[in-house]
Every structure is written in structure tokens, then in C-alpha cells.
Chain A
């Protein structure tokens, strides 16, 4: 199959949009779960604090995705951060 430069560019852009929207949301979700378990407060206060902090990771992730050199690099960063916070949440005993 012959993929032209313009098509390749569009696929890369679409890939970054998905990384920013879905990846960014996954990161915010897993980070909020990890923080909710880790923060040394009563659980309702930890829940509020975790949510307030984690929501900032979504725009940060979106900016990272579009600032990264390549779409592959963008994905790698998001997947790495999400996996790390997801693992942390799981190890800290987050229920789902």
C-alpha cells in the first residue's frame, strides 16, 4: 500500500489527538486513584485533594502530546506515565 506524505501526516495528527484525549484522561484517572490512596489524610479529604491535583495532569498531558517530537514519543510518554500511576494505584489497594 502506498501512503503519501500528507496522509501520513494526517494519521500522525489523529494519533496525537487520541493520545491527548484518551491518554490524557487515563492518566488523570489513574493519577487521581493513586493519589487518593497515597495522601496521608482522611479518605474524603484525600479524595478531594487527589481530584484537584490530578485534573491538572490532563492539560499537561495534552500539551506534552503536541510538543513531543514524534507521535511515537508522545504515546510513549503517556503510556509510561499512565502505567506507572496505574501500578501505584493498584499497589496502594485502590478499589474499582
Chain B
């Protein structure tokens, strides 16, 4: 089993680390998105913000077949709209809108936290390959976790063991402490992660029961989903604010997102979906209205036990129910998972350092850049957000490109400069980038710890504090790597 643990962990370890790191960031997806759009400030009632967004969409996206808009809440200030567009480079537009005016031209073009979230399970690969690969990685992770538990005879004693400065033993202790301390979380998040993509990866139960009848399948799985074709006659949208206020009353909660299908047509349908921030289950009830007359078309709340179980398991992975304290626990446990994977990869190399095989050396070199370069790539994404001018065309793509260029450069650097010096230098640069981020942010947008720590800038101050903490961790690794005798592995 120890053998299985070591090799299964190696095969997809680099990918798993990237998935865990971006997943950790996704815990604060909403907050990261707001930090990356520092122009926005005002907090507005969600229904007012949504109606402002709709007024602008009527002007500029009247020919789109549908608009999907997420509502602002206590975590994020702006509505975000998505719709198909023939003029957009990839066929559709996703944009944040000013909650007061509904306009988006005064907001910098960025994917915000959505980039980390998407990369976490799509890996920047075309559909469905990224999702399939992420699922396979998660399955390998689950096998690695279970075999790791079986391998681990001293599980309770290791809980209290940390022998710093002892080379391989220190790596092992760190691996065990982070792995064991949050083990229930690791098992939960890996298993529920597999479940989020299960309809793609294991569709066979549905096929056994429905065969080719996909229509029956969708109707029975989502009875709350109301749709009808466009009527082909023009008709303006009715009182959407009235419909949304009615939906709030019917659903007994806030609105999470709305969709408007066939806008500007007599067959328009307005659907409001309940906000999921106050319940475990990820899927929520929804209410649909005739977009022109406001007549209620359907109203649905999930009550089927198996589907509800699935929704709760899904919700556990998303962690959207989590109030502040547990959201930080999600963040810290995810960080521990990334740390467990990272130290596991280090252990693999440290254990085999004496082999002097070319394969072992290659793994070690790749680990330096692929794992050590990830936090650098992430901070590069934030730097790009602050440095690229708003007027630049294709701005959000440039931000994403900064992430990958940086990661690629780090991997190349690790190949050329292995061992403790490579690690130390890479971590020193990473530390510098994180530690300087608050200063850069204060200088460029004037919000945060150094510029204006009060006046409703709590998010920006918190972001700066996390950046400084991550920078300090990177700095301590850089210093340790420069001194530690165990890190001489790469010198041969």
C-alpha cells in the first residue's frame, strides 16, 4: 500500500497541486472578483441592481437568445451577466456591471476569481477533456488518500510529531501533520469533487433507465426548469422588478441568479433562482414568470431525497453555505491539502535522491517549477490585474496569459536550476511578489492596507493581509531552502 501511495501520488501530483491551489483560491472567488474590480463600491439592493443590468442589456444585447445574470450579495457588489454575442471573440460575453447604472464600460475587463474556479476543474482544456482529466486526478487523489491512511500505522502519534530541520523526516512530518489534521476535509472535498462532474464521467445509470430518451431524462431530473420557444412577435419585458420581488416572497430567501430567455419576444420567460448562501444544498428552488405579463409559469423546490442528498454533497464541495468562520476553515483546510500534496512530491524526490537515476532527477526538477511556480503564477495574475491599463483590448486574456507565462517560466527555471538553489530563488521571487502586492495595489488603485484602511475597504485590507502572510510563508521557505542540509538533493 505504501508503494501504491507513493506512485499514484506521483503520477498526477503536479496536476493535483494545481487543482488544490486554485481550489483554495476559489473559496474566496467572490471576494477575489471584487478585489480585481476596484472601481466598484456601491452596495445596492439586488433587485435594483438586476433591473439596472437588464435596462443596459436591452440596449446592447437585445438580439441575444438569453441573458443570465448573477445577483450581487454581501460578498460581491456587482451583477455579472453572461450572454451569447456574435461580435465577441469566443461567441459569448461575461461581464460585471455597475450595480447602480448597469453599465460595464467603466469596469476593467477581468475574469476575477472566475479564472481560478474554472481552471480548478477545466484546466484550461477544451470540453470535456479538462473535466475528465480533473475527475481522473480526483479519483487518483482518493485512492492515494485511502492508501495513505492504510499505510499510516502511527496516525494518532504523528498528529503530535513535528521534527523541524531534520531533512527528509521534517518533510514527512509536515506531510503527515497537514494530511492527518484535515483528513476528514481531504476525503470529503475529494469525493464530493468527483461527484460534481459525475453526470459527465459516469452517466451509465441514467442510460440504463432512460436509453436515448434524453428529453424524458432532463424533464424528470429538472422538473423546475421551464422553457418555451420564442413566439416570433416583438414585445417589451414587463415589470421585472415586480416579478423578482414576488419571487423573493415565494422562495423565502434572496435571489441568487436570474435568467431571461427570449428577451424582447412575446415568449419571454423570466426565471429567478434562490440564493444558496443560507443552505447546504447547492441547487435551489426556482420560480418562472411570463416575461411580458408577469404571470407565474412554474415554481419548484427540491424535495426528492436522493436528489437532495446529491445537492447537499455538491454544496459541501462548493462551500457556498459557509459563513465567514467556516469559509476560512475551508480555505485553511484546502491550503493544508495543497501543502500535503506539495510535501508529498518533495518526499518522493528526497527519498530517491541517492538513486541518481535520470528519471528521479527529472521529477525533482519538474516539481520545483510545477509546484513552486504555482503561487508565483497566481500572484502574477493579481499583478497583471493592477498593471494592465483598462483601455487595453483583450485585457482579461492578458491577465490569464500572465498566469501561464509565469508558471511556464518557473517550470523552465526549475529544469535549469534544480535543488535547493532553484527552490530558494524561486521562493524568494514569489515572496517578493506577494509582499509587494499591497504596495502595488495602494499605488495603482488606492484601496487597501497602505492607502485607506478604513471606509468600507475591509475586503482590500483583508486581501493585503493574506498577501503578506503568503509572502512571509514563501520567504521562510526561501530561507530554509537556502540553509537546509536536506535540500542539497539537487546538487550532484
- Which A residues have a C-beta under 8 Å from some C-beta of B? 20, 28-30, 32-37, 41-52, 54-55, 58-59, 62-63, 66-67, 89, 94-96
Contacts and interface: CB of A to CB of B under 8 A. Distances in A.
B208 interface: yes
A45 B205 contact: no
Interface in B115-134: none
A37 B204 CA distance: 11
Contacts of B236: none
B142 A59 contact: yes
B198 A59 contact: no
Interface string B200-240: 00101111111110000100110000000000000000000
A41 to B, nearest CB: 7
A67 B412 CA distance: 38
A41 B208 contact: no
Interface residues of B, number: 33
B208 A48 contact: no
B306 A32 contact: no
A51 B4 contact: no
A95 B211 contact: yes
Instruction: Choose among B1, B143, B210 the residue with the greatest number of A CB atoms under 10 Å from its CB.
Output: B143
Nearest to B213: A95
Given A50-B205, A59-B142, A43 B220 contact: yes
A51 B202 contact: yes
Contact of A36 (B4, B194, B195, B205): B205
Given A29-B202, A52-B195, A58-B139, A95 B1 contact: no
Interface string B177-198: 0000000000000000011001
A41 B306 contact: yes
Contacts of A66: 1, 3-4, 147
Interface string B271-298: 0000000000000000000000000000
A36 B208 contact: yes
A94 B208 contact: yes
Nearest to A33: B208
B39 to A, nearest CB: 43
Given A29-B202, A55-B195, A89 B208 contact: yes
B138 to A, nearest CB: 10
The 8 closest A-B pairs by CB, nearest first: A95-B211, A94-B208, A36-B205, A33-B208, A32-B205, A50-B205, A48-B306, A44-B220
A65 to B, nearest CB: 9
Interface in B300-346: 304-307, 309-310, 313
A32 B1 CA distance: 27
B445 interface: no
Contacts of A28: 202
B473 interface: no
B205 A35 contact: yes
B307 A32 contact: no
B479 interface: no
Nearest to B204: A29
A50 B204 CA distance: 9
Nearest to A30: B204
A95 B208 contact: yes
A68 to B, nearest CB: 12
